[in-house]
Amino acid sequence: MGFISGGPDAHWSYVLAEPEATLQIAREDGGDAFGGLTGFVGPARPNAPDGPPFQGGVAGLAAYELGDRVEPSGLAPLGAWPDLACGRYSRLLAFDHRRGVVFAMGRDDADAARALAWLDRPAPPAGVPKSRLTPDDPDAYERAVATVVAGIRAGDLFQANIARRWRGRLSAGGRPFDLLAALAAASPAPFAAYLRLPDRAVVSNSPERFLQVRPDARGLLARTEPIKGTAPRGATAEADRALAEGLLTSEKDRAENLMIVDLMRNDLARVCIPGEVRTPELFKVATFANVHHLISTVTGRLKPGKSAVDLLRAAFPPGSITGAPKVQAMKTIAALEAPRGPFFGSMFQLGFDGGFDSSVLIRTAAFVEDGDGWSIEARAGAGIVADSDPASERRETEAKISALLAAFSPYS
pLDDT at 74 over 90: no
**Helix 237-249 vs helix 251-269: angle between axes, to the nearest 10 degrees?**
60
Q: Residue 222: what residue type?
A: A
SS (H, E, C) 58-108: EEEEECHHHHHHCCCCCCCCCCCCCCEEEEEECCEEEEECCCCEEEEECCC
| Residue spans of alpha helices (H) in 233-322 | 237-249, 251-269, 308-315
Question: Is the residue at 412 inside a domain?
Answer: no
pTM (predicted TM-score): 0.94
- What angle do helix axes 138-153 and 326-336 make, rounded to 10 degrees? 150
Q: Is 281 annotated as catalytic?
A: no
What are the Cα distances from residue 382, in Å, to 12, 117, 385? Answer: 29, 44, 10
pLDDT of 309: 97
Mean pLDDT in residue range 90-99: 95
Number of domains within the chain: 1
What is the CA 136 to chain-centroid distance, rounded?
Answer: 22
CA distance 54 to 4: 13
Residue 352's pLDDT is 96
Is 40 within the bounds of a domain? yes
Domain of 233 in residue numbering reads as: 2-407
- Verify whether residue 208 is a known catalytic residue: yes
CA dist 86 and 19 (Å) reads 9
Mean pLDDT on 51-70: 95
CA atoms within 13 A on the CB side of 306: 22
Q: Are 329 and 161 in contact (CB under 8 A)?
A: yes
Of 37-51, 65-79, 276-290, the poorest mean pLDDT is in: 65-79
Report the relative pairing of strands 219-224 and 57-62 from DSSP bridges: unpaired
Strand ranges, E, within 158-273: 159-169, 191-197, 200-206, 209-216, 219-224, 227-232
Q: How far apart are CA 243 and CA 245, in angstroms?
A: 5
Mean pLDDT of all residues belonging to the chain = 93
**Would you say residue 412 has pLDDT above 60?**
no
Per-residue pLDDT, 277: 97
For 215, other C-beta atoms within 10 Å of its C-beta total: 19
Q: Summarize pLDDT for 103-150 with one digit per residue, the tens.
A: 999 999 999 999 999 999 988 787 889 999 999 999 999 999 999 999
- Collect all residues with Cβ–Cβ distance below 8 Å to 187 and sequence separation of at least 6: 205, 288, 289, 290, 403, 406, 407
Residue-level pLDDT at 30: 79
Catalytic site residue from 65, 130, 208, 256: 208
Tell me the average pLDDT across 385-409.
93
Torsion on CA atoms 77, 81, 83, 89, rounded to nearest 10: 180
Which listed residue (130, 228, 306, 331) is catalytic?
A: 228
* Burial of residue 305 (number of CB atoms within 10 Å: 0-12, 13-18, 19+): exposed
Report helix angle 33-41 to 308-315, nearest 10: 160
Q: What is the DSSP letter of 130?
A: B
**400 and 291 in contact (C-beta within 8 Å)?**
yes
CB atoms within 10 A of CB 136: 16
Q: How far apart are CA 225 and CA 218, in angstroms?
A: 22
Separation between Cα atoms, residue 173 and residue 209, nearest integer Å: 33
Rounded to an integer, the average pLDDT of 395-411 is 90
Note the pLDDT of residue 90. 94
CATH of residue 248: 3.60.120.10
Instruction: Name the phi and psi angles at 265, rounded to 5.
Output: -60, -45
Q: Quote the pLDDT of residue 212.
A: 97
166-211 pLDDT, tens per residue? 999 999 889 999 999 999 988 889 999 999 998 999 999 999 999 9
SS3 of residue 168 by DSSP? strand
* Angstrom distance (rounded) from CA 3 to CA 14: 5
Secondary element (H or E) of residue 359? strand 356-359
Spell out the residues 6+ positions from residue 50 whose beta carbon is closer than 8 angstroms to its own: none
CB-CB contact of 132 with 297 (8 Å)? no
Which H/E stretch holds residue 16?
strand 12-16
Q: Is the pLDDT of residue 13 over 80?
A: yes
